[in-house]
Amino acid sequence: MLVPTKVPNLDPVHCCSSSESHTGVVTFEGALVMFGSPAEGRLGGVEDWLKHSPASFEGKRIRSVCCGGMHTHVLTEDLEMYSFGGNRKGQLGLTRSDFQ
């Protein structure tokens, strides 16, 4: 697409972030909408269009999203950070012991 085109089916948007293969959008209601390539879990699920309600983040509304190459970071209204996707180089801030 070479001309600006409105993205359909999104609530009013608060902020967004994208990488070369996926995009994250935060709605004014505090939900997170992810779309693009689901590889490596970068959308937080297996679909290529996924809406996460605040329930996905322990009931907390989302404040912002940041998409990296194969990972995503989400900041909640309580200033807690969630991350998902590829962690091959530690970009999620997790170590192997965090998964046990």
pTM assigned to the model: 0.86
Does residue 70 belong to any structural domain of this protein?
Answer: yes
Does residue 90 belong to any structural domain of this protein?
Answer: no
Does residue 97 belong to any structural domain of this protein?
Answer: no
Residues 6+ apart with CB under 8 A from 89: none
Whole domain around residue 51: which residue ranges? 13-83
Encoding tokens for residue 84? Answer: 């998902």
Does residue 4 belong to any structural domain of this protein?
Answer: no
**Domains held by the chain: number:** 1
Does residue 92 belong to any structural domain of this protein?
Answer: no
CA dist 60 and 21 (Å) reads 26
CA 26 to chain CA centroid, Å, is 8
* pLDDT classification of 68: cutoffs 50, 70, 90: very high
Residues 17-50: pLDDT tens digits? 999 999 999 999 999 999 999 999 999 988 888 8
